Amino acid sequence: MKTFTILVLWMILSLSFISIKAQTFYNTWYYNYDLVWEAGLGGGLMNCLTDLGGRKGNGGRFIKDIRWSSSRPCFSSYIGATYKDIWTIRLNYQVGTVTAADSQLSTSDPNPGGRYGRNLSFRSKISEISLIAEAHPLFWSSGVMEKIPSLSPYFLTGIAYYRFNPQTLWGGRWQDLHPLRLEGQGFPSIENRRPYKLRQFAIPVGLGVRYETGPLMNIRFDCVYRFLFTDYLDDVSTDYIDPALFDLYLETEKALLARNLYDRSHERLPGMIAVPGSPRGNKKNKDAYFSFQFTLSYVFRHSVK
């Protein structure tokens, strides 16, 4: 992770010292239409902010609670159109994995009565399709060809549709958590706790920088944060329920598995048992996931010759 951070900082600083130069090659070799198309492939890292893992204390929002060591690889592809170098619309597809574990607090906050003692963990594969709009402010007043910059920072936002499926490791196998209703989602005896959907919408926002290496190639670096409408990315949100409800509403096999997975504090401290109604998560804050990614793209331009 330290190597990646150094690489990102080095590239950003290097690009910062590249002089803003005229794109005269558009006039010499390629037509510079108002609307140009491009397509690209990217790779980077994905991470999340949920009720699990994190840093010391009861957790916080955004950077305060990020556990950078939980970052996992992600990959993407996209096709987009740019109008007068100012506005870009792109259709993006991305896949990756997010993960978190309370056991990560073993060195920073090994409190058996806190998140470390709760001892829950999850992973989820993420597949996302998004429609992203970019705004490049350096081009807003750049109407003369000689003033067009090679390096362009931008803002982005849009809408995303993603699929997730929280799992945890038990008995040497990754078990799907959604069917187990570990917090009583959908149980008739628990009001206002409906099952969450594994396919949902999100609002991505972020910053990026585009460097035009030539008339046909771009390099991008994006930092994108997704605002979610669920607190169940990690299958943890509210409080512990009476485990007897699993036998009442689930099939025998699922009920047995749910009893073992809804409360795992006894694995950390023998004899510890969660009290029904006590906090299992924090429903006040929605979950989120984010990514850092480099992209290499090809720009479709017509040659003058």
Q: Residues with Cβ < 8 Å from 32, sequence gap 6 or more?
A: 23, 26, 145, 301
Per-residue pLDDT, 153: 94
Per-residue pLDDT, 62: 60
Q: Residues with Cβ < 8 Å from 217, sequence gap 6 or more?
A: 296, 297, 298, 299
Cα gap 249→245, rounded to integer Å? 6
* Residues in a beta bridge with 130: 92, 160
Distance of alpha carbon 281 from the chain centroid = 20
Cα separation values, 283 from 85, 233, 269, Å = 42, 12, 25
pLDDT digit of tens for each residue in the chain (305 aa)?
444 444 444 444 444 443 333 344 455 677 677 899 999 999 999 999 999 988 776 555 566 778 889 999 999 999 999 998 889 999 999 999 999 999 998 888 888 888 899 999 999 999 999 999 999 998 776 554 445 568 899 999 999 999 999 999 999 999 999 999 999 999 999 998 999 999 999 999 999 999 988 888 999 999 999 999 999 999 999 999 999 999 999 999 999 999 999 999 999 989 889 999 999 999 988 999 999 999 999 999 877 76
Cα gap 93→41, rounded to integer Å? 10
The full 3-state SS of the chain, as one line of letters, equals: CHHHHHHHHHHHHHHHCCCCCCCCHHHHCECCCCEEEEEEEEEEEEEEECCCCCCCCCCCCHHHHCCHHHCEEEEEEEEEEEECCCEEEEEEEEEEEEEEEHHHHHCCCCCCCCHHHHCCEEEEEEEEEEEEEEECHHHCCCCCHHHCCCEEEEEEEEEEEEECCCEEEECCEEEECHHHCCCCCCCCCCCCCCCCCCEEEEEEEEEEEEEECCCCEEEEEEEEEEEECCCCCCCCCCECCCCHHHHHHCCHHHHHHHHHHCCCHHHHCCCCCCCCCCECCCCCCCCEEEEEEEEEEEEECCECC
- Cβ atoms of 223 and 292 closer than 8 Å: yes
Domains of the chain from N-terminus onward: 32-299 (2.40.160.20)
The total number of residues shown for the chain amounts to 305
Give residue 152's identity as a one-letter amino acid code.
S
Cα gap 42→292, rounded to integer Å? 10
Per-residue pLDDT, 302: 77
* Residues in a beta bridge with 90: 80, 132
Cα gap 105→274, rounded to integer Å? 19
Cα gap 126→99, rounded to integer Å? 11
Per-residue pLDDT, 142: 52
Cα gap 244→249, rounded to integer Å? 9
Which structure tokens are listed for 268?
């950390």
